[in-house]
């Protein structure tokens, strides 16, 4: 048997209603904040992620699905959405549109990671990106979108962690101080962090190994090394969040794994879902657009993993009953009745009623069992005598009551099954 690739998953019909519910909640909430959807290709030139996400990141160094096409060009299945959105805005000449530009996306992403609960190789993200607003109010507004989606999904067991990792003015000095600190502990660091020391010492701060975390506790904090502008930005963000009633904690270990971030970084963490507890991660990236060949333009955004949202909803008991049951199931006896049923059902469907009838020639008993299994609210049994008289018995499956209806009066039938006509 051919199996799906490791780290991918099928979403079966009983699960899709929950996915659709989450997607609809995210879309509707983002729309309230003025975001519009953008769709970009599933694969892009590899260089986009090397330059955008950053050469020294784990994503680019170890996790990309990169291939060459028949003309020997290097492409990569998108590991995330931010770089693609920036590319699309530049390429489509949208950087001079009225600001801010507010875009959201619902995408599948690909990263070659070790699969575990909440971490897969193909995964789904809902993300938003806002361009052209440098003020801390934009950071708060963006965090507000994520917070509203998470709350609207009923996820309560979650905390918002924020940090500032500075800007090109203040980060080099901080980075050097951090380098010197970790250099003194080099022998104790895990192998990954030993190599991070030279390329990206900030990443050592979010290493999960107990020894590296312990060493990290004594490390200099970016928040204590901000230039006056970055410090002011952070203060303003806190004021906005306080005003908006959004609770947060300053977490100096939030450094994020992608290179494009400047100043604000944040994560929503739900510890109830295990090791992969970040349901949403994001931050400001004021240099990305320029890095990719566009104008200097500030940006901020986030992305949330749909599987992690599902785990969090399950942990919080907030999975809604999204099942869709047929309003009516028609059980025909014989070919003429089946033909009559097809006519009734198609009229009902054209008026927006979910109705089904037997297509596989089951016995009446088996049909009633099937109707029960689908959760149908009403059933209608039609045979030759019903067709002749034009009357049939409509059974209410929930209340075990019944009434006679006119088979040729669709409006009366709709009323009888609870619809306004
Ligand atoms: P990220 O932190 O790499 O950021 O991913 C965002 C979210 O995607 C994570 O918090 C997690 O919920 C989900 N996620 C990431 N990797 C996996 C995986 N292997 N399996 C399941 N879920 C996963 C970004 O991707 C940035 N582009 C976010 C952003 C947008 N920053 C600014 N704008």
- In the chain, domain spans: 16-170+226-316, 328-416
Instruction: Dump the DSSP string for 15-35.
Output: THHHHHHHHHHHHHHHHHTT-
Tell me if domain 16-170+226-316 and domain 328-416 are identical in fold: no
Fold for 16-170+226-316, please state it: BirA Bifunctional Protein; domain 2 (3.30.930)
pTM across the whole model:
0.93
pLDDT band at residue 206 under the 50/70/90 scheme: confident
Report how far apart, in Å, the C-alpha atoms of 87 and of each of 37, 47, 146, 416 are. Answer: 15, 11, 23, 55
User: Does the pLDDT of residue 148 top 80, yes or no?
Assistant: yes
Q: What is the CA radius of gyration of the chain?
A: 28
Tokens 């009923």 belong to which residue? 154
User: Does the pLDDT of residue 295 top 80, yes or no?
Assistant: yes
Report how far apart, in Å, the C-alpha atoms of 401 and of each of 40, 395, 412, 416 are. Answer: 53, 6, 17, 12
CA of 400 to the centre of ligand 1 (A): 50
Report pLDDT for 322.
80
CATH number of 328-416: 3.40.50.800
- Per residue in 62-105, pLDDT (tens digit) is 999 999 999 999 999 999 999 999 999 999 999 999 999 999 99
Atom of ligand 1 nearest to the CA of 267: 10
Q: Whose CA is nearest to atom 10 of ligand 1?
A: 280
Any residues with Cβ below 6 Å from ligand 1, and which?
Answer: 80-82, 111, 113, 118-120, 123, 125, 127, 129, 257-258, 278-283, 301-305, 307-308
Atom of ligand 1 nearest to the CA of 81: 27
Evaluate the omega torsion of the peptide bond into residue 388 and state whether it is cis, within 30 degrees of 0.
no
Mapping DSSP to helix (H, G, I), strand (E, B) and coil, where does residue 232 land? helix
CA of 397 to the centre of ligand 1 (A): 46
Report pLDDT for 302.
98
Atom of ligand 1 nearest to the CA of 309: 12
Whole-number Å distance between alpha carbons of 378 and 396: 5
Whole-number Å distance between alpha carbons of 330 and 394: 9
Q: Which residues, listed in sequence order, are joined to residue 305 by a DSSP beta bridge?
A: 125
User: Does the pLDDT of residue 323 top 80, yes or no?
Assistant: no
Mapping DSSP to helix (H, G, I), strand (E, B) and coil, where does residue 302 land? strand
The mean pLDDT of 314-343, rounded to a whole number, is 94
- Per residue in 158-189, pLDDT (tens digit) is 999 999 999 999 999 999 999 999 999 999 99
Whole-number Å distance between alpha carbons of 318 and 258: 31
pLDDT band at residue 324 under the 50/70/90 scheme: confident
Helix%, strand%, coil% for the chain, nearest 5? 40, 20, 35
Atom of ligand 1 nearest to the CA of 278: 10
- Per residue in 219-267, pLDDT (tens digit) is 999 999 999 999 999 999 999 999 999 999 999 999 998 989 999 999 9
The mean pLDDT of 284-303, rounded to a whole number, is 98
Count of CB atoms situated within 10 Å of the CB of 52: 24
- Per residue in 100-127, pLDDT (tens digit) is 999 999 999 999 999 999 999 999 999 9
Report pLDDT for 144.
98
CA of 280 to the centre of ligand 1 (A): 7
CA of 304 to the centre of ligand 1 (A): 6
> Can you say whether the dihedral through the CA atoms of 29, 33, 34, 36 is positive or negative?
negative
CA of 286 to the centre of ligand 1 (A): 19
Q: Whose CA is nearest to atom 13 of ligand 1?
A: 305
Mapping DSSP to helix (H, G, I), strand (E, B) and coil, where does residue 357 land? strand
Report pLDDT for 9.
98
Atom of ligand 1 nearest to the CA of 82: 27
Atom of ligand 1 nearest to the CA of 279: 12
User: Does the pLDDT of residue 215 top 80, yes or no?
Assistant: yes
Q: Whose CA is nearest to atom 16 of ligand 1?
A: 119
User: Does the pLDDT of residue 403 top 90, yes or no?
Assistant: yes
What mean pLDDT, rounded, does the chain reach?
96
CA of 399 to the centre of ligand 1 (A): 48
């Amino acid at each position: 048997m051919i199996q799906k690739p490791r780290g991918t998953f099928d979403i079966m019909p009983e699960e899709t209603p929950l996915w659709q519910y989450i997607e609809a909640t995210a879309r509707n909430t983002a729309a309230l904040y003025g975001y519009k959807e953008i769709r970009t290709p599933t694969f892009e030139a590899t260089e986009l992620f090397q330059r955008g996400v950053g050469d020294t990141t784990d994503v680019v160094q170890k996790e990309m699905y990169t291939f060459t096409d028949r003309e020997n060009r290097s492409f990569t299945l998108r590991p995330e959405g931010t770089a693609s959105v920036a590319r699309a805005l530049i390429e489509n000449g949208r950087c001079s549109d009225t600001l801010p530009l507010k875009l959201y996306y619902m995408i599948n992403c690909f990263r070659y990671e070790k699969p575990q609960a909440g971490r897969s190789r193909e995964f789904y993200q809902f993300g938003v990106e806002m361009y052209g607003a440098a003020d801390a109010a934009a950071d708060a507004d963006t965090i507000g979108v994520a917070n509203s989606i998470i709350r609207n999904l009923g996820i309560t067991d979650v905390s918002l962690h924020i940090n500032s990792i500075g800007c090109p003015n203040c980060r080099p000095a901080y980075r050097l101080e951090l380098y010197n600190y970790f250099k003194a502990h080099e022998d104790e660091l895990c192998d990954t962090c030993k190599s991070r020391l030279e390329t990206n010492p900030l990443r050592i701060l979010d290493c999960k190994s107990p020894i590296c975390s312990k060493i990290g506790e004594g490390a200099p904090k970016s928040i204590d090394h901000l230039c006056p502008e970055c410090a002011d930005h952070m203060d303003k963000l806190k004021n906005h969040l306080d005003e908006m009633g959004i609770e947060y904690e300053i977490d100096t270990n939030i450094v994020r794994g992608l290179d494009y971030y400047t100043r604000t970084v944040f994560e929503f963490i739900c510890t109830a879902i295990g090791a992969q507890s970040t349901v949403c991660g994001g931050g400001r990236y004021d240099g990305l657009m320029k890095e990719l060949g566009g104008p200097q333009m500030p940006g901020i955004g986030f992305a949330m993993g749909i599987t992690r949202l599902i785990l969090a909803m399950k942990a919080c008991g907030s999975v809604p009953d999204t099942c869709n049951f047929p309003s009516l199931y028609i059980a025909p006896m014989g070919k003429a009745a089946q033909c009559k049923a097809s006519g009734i059902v198609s009229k009902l469907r054209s008026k927006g009623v979910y109705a089904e009838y037997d297509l596989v020639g089951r016995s009446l008993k088996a049909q009633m069992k099937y109707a029960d299994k689908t959760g149908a609210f009403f059933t209608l049994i039609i045979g030759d005598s019903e067709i002749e008289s034009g009357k049939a018995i409509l059974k209410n499956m929930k209340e075990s009551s019944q009434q006679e209806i006119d088979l040729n009066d669709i409006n009366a039938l709709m009323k009888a099954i609870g619809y306004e006509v």
